[in-house]
Amino acid sequence: MTPFSMDDLMFRPGLMSGERILITGGGTGLGKVMAEACLMLGATVYICGRRGGVVEASARELMDAHGGRCVGLACDIRVPEAIEAMLDQIWADGGALTGLVNNAAGNFISRTEDLSPRAFDAIANIVFRGTFFVTQGCGKRWIAEGQKASVVSILTTWIWNGGPFTVPSAMSKAAVATMSQSLAVEWGSHGIRFNNIAPGPFPTEGMSARLNPGGEGQERSNAYGDMSANPMGRVGDMRELANLAVYLLHPLSAYVNGQTIAIDGAAWQATGGNFSRLRAWGDAEWKAARDSIQRTNEKDRAQRTV
C-alpha cells in the first residue's frame, strides 16, 4: 500500500490530536488504512492482531512514513482474558481510549452444508464473540471513568440482505449491527456512541485469498463480481473508507449514533452485493476454493504469535 499524503484526507492536520484509538485487526487491510489516517491526523493509534510480527512491522512502517505514535499489540480477540490484558496495557500507557474500531474479522466462502462446527466457530468466535468482548471491555472502563467515546464497527451490506456462501460471517456481522443499535441507546447517556460502516468491495490481501481464492481474472465468478455492474463502475478507494472512519471517530460527529453507512457505490441495491452468483459452482470449483483457502490459512497460522 502506498502511504497516504495529506492530500488523500479531507481533514486539517492535527484534527485527531488527543484522540486515542484502538483498531482491531489493524495490521493489514482496511484496519491498517484507518490506522494510517488516524495517525496522520495526530491520534495515538493502537493496532492489534494475532500475528505480533505483522502488527509491529505495520506500526513501525506507519510511524516511519508519518511520525506520531502507533503501537502494535499481539492479541487474539477470541480470548477474553487476552483482551482484558491488552486493554489494561493500553490504559496504563496513557489513559483511556477515546475510540475503538471493531475491524478484526475472519471469513471464507464455503457451501454452508460443508461447514464443520470448528469452521463456524473460526468465524463466529472472532466476529460475534470477539467484537462483543472488546467492546464490553472498553465500555466498562469508559463508564467507570466518565469517558466519552466513539465505536465504529466494520460490517457488510449482507446484514440487510443475507450472505449466501458466507453464512457464519453474515450472521455474526448482523449480530454486531444489533449490538451497535442496542448500545447506542443503552450507553448514549454516557456519551459513548456506536456507528457501523458496511464496506463493499475494497480489495485487500486477506479478502482476496479467502473470498476470491485462485485469483482474479479467472473464468469463475469472483469476490467482486463484474465491476461494470457496480453503479460506480469500480471497487472502493481506500481513501474513501479512511475519511469516513475518521469522521465517525471524531467528537464533532457526536450526534451521529446508532447508524450504519454503506460505502459500496450502491452495489448492494444494484446487485445484492453478495455471493449469490456462486450458486453456479459445482463440486470441482468448491474443492479448488477450499484447497486454496486452506493453504492461505496455514501460511497465516505459521505467522501467529498468540
Q: Contacts with ligand COA in 161-220 (CB under 6 A)?
A: 206-207, 210-211
Give, for 170, the enclosing helix (H) or strand (E): helix 167-186
Question: Is residue 301 part of the contact set for ligand COA (CB under 6 A)?
Answer: yes
Q: Between 136 and 297, whose beta carbon lies closer to ligand COA? A: 297
Question: Is residue 108 part of the contact set for ligand COA (CB under 6 A)?
Answer: yes
Q: Which of 12, 118, 228, 280 binds ligand COA (CB under 6 A)?
A: 118
> Can you point out the beta strands (E) in 200-278?
259-263
Question: Is residue 110 part of the contact set for ligand COA (CB under 6 A)?
Answer: yes
Q: Between 12 and 118, whose beta carbon lies closer to ligand COA? A: 118
Amino acid at 293: I
Sign of the CA dihedral running 72, 75, 78, 79? negative
Q: Which of 103, 107, 147, 274 binds ligand COA (CB under 6 A)?
A: 107
Whether 98 and 20 have beta carbons less than 8 Å apart is answered as yes
Quote the distance between the C-alpha of residue 290 and its chain's center.
Answer: 23
> Left, alpha or beta for 121 (phi > 0: left; psi -120 to 50: alpha)?
alpha
Question: Is residue 115 part of the contact set for ligand COA (CB under 6 A)?
Answer: yes
Q: Which SS3 state, helix, strand or coil, does residue 70 take?
A: strand
Q: Contacts with ligand COA in 224-283 (CB under 6 A)?
A: none
Whether 35 and 43 have beta carbons less than 8 Å apart is answered as no
Question: Is residue 102 part of the contact set for ligand COA (CB under 6 A)?
Answer: no
Binding site for ligand COA (CB under 6 A): 105-108, 110, 114-116, 118-119, 122-123, 126, 206-207, 210-211, 290, 293-294, 297, 300-301
